Structure 1
Amino acid sequence: MSPSASRIKSPQLLLAESGHDLEGHGLKRTMGLFQLVCFGVGAIVGTGIFVGLSDSVAEAGPAVVVSFVLAAITCIFTAFSFAELGGAIPVSGSSYSFAYASLGERAAFLVGWCLLLEYGVSVSAVAVGWSQYLNELLDSLTGWQLPDALSAGPGEGGVVNVPAVIVILLAATLLVRGVRESARATAAMAILKIGILVVFCAIGFSAFQAGHLSPFAEHGMGGITAGASVAFFSYIGFDAITTAGEEVKNPRRNIPIAILICIGLVTLLYCAVALSAIGALGADAVADRPAALSLVVDQVTGSSIGGGIIAFGAVVAIASVVLAVMYGQTRILMSMSRDGLVPRVFERVSPKSATPVANTWIVAAVFAVPAAFASLDVVVNLTTIGTLAVMAVVNLAVMVLRRRNPELPRSFRVPLFPLSPILGIGFCLYLIWGTGWTTWLQFAGFLVVGALVYAGYGRRHSRLVTAPGDDAAPVSPAG
């Protein structure tokens, strides 16, 4: 066994380290179950449904509802694994820490590297979607929009996407003020956007025509699979709940419950939105329309006022996703920094706000760049495949920990074990297949770069050492 593969950090050591950082300032447990559910909804519901629905419909047609269910099934199996691991190891590292406790340091670093796609790059994608709906809102209120040169990247006919950068900086400002303030803002925005999507469904179903659902699966199973791979982006973020492990009250109880509530609620909401949109106008009218929900409301009501309300809801919804996902990214980097795998600046917590201030501003600055200049399609595909790879690892981790640490207290246990995590891995690989070979090559290149970074920096700076004569018995170095 190679040295880095044998560097396995025990769950007990992870829990012991999570009580404080190396500067002596700890994170505060301020989030209850309701705030955690709102945080999860805040991280999930945003660009994927408000902007990405049209792309899923373009692939699957009316059968996009099946695509959403297929993506949800993938998430549900993995959500079971996240719920068990999040309750057993409630630390801020999420899937990175789960991999460290089960598969070793190299695998953990690559998981953390992939999480740069799920959390960091998705912030850029979400911010680009926010810019699109901001223009829709400005048009409905004033009849004026920001020029393309200032509201789109070069790949979409513009020069620099200024609104996308602004929303990232606003989220960073709120995050450095404190978790309590961020949680309150996220809860308010989550309630608002759920309410607006429910109103959208009511409007769409009022004009529902069954004929718009025929032919149902015009692109066959291939279209449904491709649609599911696109629709999966709409679910990204539920695992961010586990990144709050060190700031949640009673985490062993609240983390598993929050994950399962979020997946169930969001799946019902997405299927209802897709059915009402297609039933009202037909799949062809919805496909490839970035602001499709506003279009549906405008057409059904014969007024731009309703579309303006939807656009306002999208602006709020997508801003809350930026906030929640940036939070998750900073906590992942904090955990990796504690282990020495990334520079120490990412672990420093402000004694005043109890937040990683420098970490937050670095994340905002780095991911504002692709938000300003990249197109939405490029970042969505990479985000999707990176997230699916991480979820496959989490399903594997739950099986390894059941065998290696059977005594570990578990407030939730995966049902139908080991069938459930095996199916979770299978569905993840199936959706990865649907992303296409171009995305596979991009992701393979990304992993190679990650392996080189680990070999050149992470492995040499790791703070984990193994006891002499016992590769599997990690101890934390003093100081």
Structure 2
Amino acid sequence: MIFGRIKPVDAIIRTAEKKALVRSLGLGQLVLLGVGATIGTGIFVLTAAAAQKAGPGMLLSFVIAGSICALAALCYSELAAMVPVSGSAYTYSYAVIGELLAWMVGWALVLEYAVSASAVSVGWSGYFMGLLESITGFALPQALSRGPVWSMNGVLPSLDFSHGVINLPAFLIALAVTSLLVLGTRESARFNAIFVVVKIAALTAFIALTIPVLDTGNFSPFAPNGWFGTGGAHGFGIVGAAASIFFAYIGFDAVSTAAEETKNPQRNVPLALIGSLAICTVFYVAVAAGAIGAMGAQPVPGPDGAAVMPGSAGFVEACLLPANREALVCSNEALAHVLRAINWPVVGNALGLIANLALPSVVLMMMYGQTRIFFVMARDGLLPEKLARIHPRFGTPHVVTMVTGVFVATVAAVLPIGQLADISNSGTLFAFFMVAVAVLVLRIREPGRKRPFRVPFVWIVAPASIGGCLFLFANLPVDAQLVLPIWGGIGLIIYFLYGYRRSHVGRGLAEIHERDADARPHLKDIA
């Protein structure tokens, strides 16, 4: 039976130990990894999209999304401490719920990591073009700096190329990061931790410069689109913004993918998960308050006066009006734009430069995360082992990296950041949902198993995490909701055509001797 294909926790741990990755990451490195993977496009760019949906009420959106992430982090912590191996939610689901649902979780994680990398690439593009124009006055034509506008026309998407054709900078940065991952990642090791510190310093400077000029009048009206949108609009309001801004937090689960390379993972993984999430939440709320107070964050209405979704044709047209061009919600480089607006242009340009330097490291982490998920799925026989083939010279999984890179670059070239974030969220919410379910199932099935970290009040926290994920998913835009079942359907076809027959568990192989697992670049090389 499909649902009976469960790989026992002990077998998973033995499998990983056959070719175990070097346990070299300490607590400090893990926290830096979580903060570095989390603080990125979400706060640097999505602040504008959240303001378009919720206005100043996006402050509560950050709190709602962070609270639901905290519940998920607790569930992740229990499983990561029990099963300290690579694979994140995919591995946990395999150990508890079975192969089919584990495959679906792994397939959803592919959607999370790949589309996240595309979104960060688009975010980098906005800051790059903004900095270039601010310093030199040069700007790429819209046809080369913005992708087409996508909208749903019945069951099929329609494209509007009148405001853009391809986001060339986003396309090129994704390919550049792909090349770095193929050639080797040791060269970036010394810079990534520095980038984390620099990003935190930049956000601290932003807070210090905006809070003194805070105008409480900019917080009114606080919720112009209400809690759930007005006039029947779906995906708007404080809750709709929370569903989108959830993207700003999802990097924290990259910590759990590093469990196999962590010293004392039973202690350090839970602490790093919760610690990195707490640090990011404090910064997000403070930065959002500074941006709102400094220049306001009211949504711009569409041509008919109704609320318009960020990235839509109506939104683009509204932002082209002279009265709206300087609005926060219309900026592709929100934080730098705020600093320039309050007469700190040099600091604004410096922040833009920092974003240009730091965001590619987030792209790298997201793409690396996907190759790790592919690697573990191939290790279990659910994908061809050739996908994890190691390059004889560079020592990297070049095949899966190049496939991932082309996909990421193509998607980044044609979709706006708001849609990319919502699509990524749909996959992430499904994975978080399954992790919370797995915690409850394992508590019932194996109550006596050693749990180095236990979710407190598990029968409240885990169901709350499940309900929170469903709640945010229900408030995503409809097109983002539709992506998950379509993507899942494609995954099921692949599973039944290949994975079901080739699965090691299905063939009775309890342990797998992975070839060249120790030849893969370790996460410490990019963390």
TM-score by length of 1: 0.92
2:260 paired residue among 246, 253, 257:
246
Query: Compared with structure 1, are the counterparts of its residues 90 and 173 closer, same or farther at alpha carbon in structure 2 (3 Å cutoff)?
Result: farther
Q: Which amino acid aligns with 2:12?
A: L
Query: Compared with structure 1, are the counterparts of its residues 256 and 119 closer, same or farther at alpha carbon in structure 2 (3 Å cutoff)?
Result: same
2:9 paired residue among 8, 11, 26:
11
Q: Which amino acid aligns with 1:150?
A: L
Q: Is the 8 A contact 2:68 2:468 kept in 1?
A: yes
The answer to whether structure 1 residue 42 and structure 2 residue 36 are counterparts is yes
How far 1:33 sits from its partner (Å)?
1.9
How far 1:149 sits from its partner (Å)?
3.5
Taking the aligned partners of 1:385 and 1:464, their CA distance within structure 2 comes to 28
Please give the residue correspondences for 1:105-116 in structure 2 after superposition, counting only pairs within 5 Å: 105-116=99-110
1:187 paired residue among 193, 200, 220:
193
Q: Which amino acid aligns with 2:215?
A: Q
Q: Which residue of 2 aligns with 1:129?
A: 123
The answer to whether structure 1 residue 53 and structure 2 residue 67 are counterparts is no
Post-superposition CA distance 1:379-407 (Å, at most 9, x none):
22211111111111111111112222334
Q: Which residue of 1 aligns with 2:468?
A: 427
Q: Which residue of 2 aligns with 1:198?
A: 204
The answer to whether structure 1 residue 384 and structure 2 residue 418 are counterparts is no
Q: Is the 8 A contact 1:51 1:291 kept in 2?
A: yes
2:218 paired residue among 207, 212, 220:
212
Taking the aligned partners of 2:182 and 2:263, their CA distance within structure 1 comes to 20
Q: Which amino acid aligns with 2:462?
A: P
Q: Is the 8 A contact 2:295 2:328 kept in 1?
A: yes
2:339 paired residue among 294, 297, 308:
297
Taking the aligned partners of 1:66 and 1:121, their CA distance within structure 2 comes to 25
Query: Compared with structure 1, are the counterparts of its residues 478 and 87 closer, same or farther at alpha carbon in structure 2 (3 Å cutoff)?
Result: closer
- In percent, how many aligned pairs have the same letter? 41
Q: Which residue of 2 aligns with 1:287?
A: 329
How far 1:119 sits from its partner (Å)?
0.3
Please give the residue correspondences for 1:102-181 in structure 2 after superposition, counting only pairs within 5 Å: 102-155=96-149, 157-176=163-182, 181=187
Q: CA RMSD in A?
A: 2.1
2:242 paired residue among 228, 241, 254:
228
Q: Which residue of 2 aligns with 1:97?
A: 91
Query: Compared with structure 1, are the counterparts of its residues 299 and 375 closer, same or farther at alpha carbon in structure 2 (3 Å cutoff)?
Result: closer
Give 5+ residue unaligned stretches, structure 2. Answer: 150-160, 229-236, 299-326, 515-527
Q: Is the 8 A contact 2:37 2:254 kept in 1?
A: yes
Q: Which amino acid aligns with 2:329?
A: A
Post-superposition CA distance 1:367-426 (Å, at most 9, x none):
222122333233222111111111111111111122223343322111111210110011
1:79 paired residue among 44, 54, 73:
73
Q: Is the 8 A contact 2:118 2:408 kept in 1?
A: yes
Out of 149-158 and 453-462, give the one that drifted further.
149-158
Out of 93-102 and 172-181, give the one that drifted further.
172-181
Q: Is the 8 A contact 2:170 2:409 kept in 1?
A: yes
Query: Compared with structure 1, are the counterparts of its residues 169 and 249 closer, same or farther at alpha carbon in structure 2 (3 Å cutoff)?
Result: farther
Partner SS for 1:290? coil
Post-superposition CA distance 1:26-69 (Å, at most 9, x none):
53333222222111112111111111111111111111111100
Taking the aligned partners of 2:188 and 2:258, their CA distance within structure 1 comes to 12
Query: Compared with structure 1, are the counterparts of its residues 355 and 17 closer, same or farther at alpha carbon in structure 2 (3 Å cutoff)?
Result: farther
Q: Which residue of 1 aligns with 2:524?
A: none
Partner SS for 2:282? helix
Query: Compared with structure 1, are the counterparts of its residues 243 and 349 closer, same or farther at alpha carbon in structure 2 (3 Å cutoff)?
Result: farther
Post-superposition CA distance 1:213-262 (Å, at most 9, x none):
12222322211111111111111211111111222222222211111111
Post-superposition CA distance 1:333-376 (Å, at most 9, x none):
10000011111123334687664343323322232221223332
How far 1:180 sits from its partner (Å)?
5.4
Q: Is the 8 A contact 1:30 1:179 kept in 2?
A: no
Q: Which residue of 1 aligns with 2:157?
A: none
Taking the aligned partners of 1:454 and 1:426, their CA distance within structure 2 comes to 28
The answer to whether structure 1 residue 334 and structure 2 residue 332 are counterparts is no
Q: Which residue of 2 aligns with 1:475?
A: 510
Query: Compared with structure 1, are the counterparts of its residues 172 and 252 closer, same or farther at alpha carbon in structure 2 (3 Å cutoff)?
Result: farther
Q: Which amino acid aligns with 2:92?
A: F
Q: Is the 8 A contact 2:422 2:477 kept in 1?
A: no
Please give the residue correspondences for 1:439-478 in structure 2 after superposition, counting only pairs within 5 Å: 439-465=480-506, 475-476=510-511
Query: Compared with structure 1, are the counterparts of its residues 385 and 408 closer, same or farther at alpha carbon in structure 2 (3 Å cutoff)?
Result: same
Q: Which amino acid aligns with 1:394?
A: V
Q: Which amino acid aligns with 2:97?
A: L
Q: Which amino acid aligns with 1:188?
A: I
Query: Compared with structure 1, are the counterparts of its residues 411 and 135 closer, same or farther at alpha carbon in structure 2 (3 Å cutoff)?
Result: same
How far 1:177 sits from its partner (Å)?
5.7
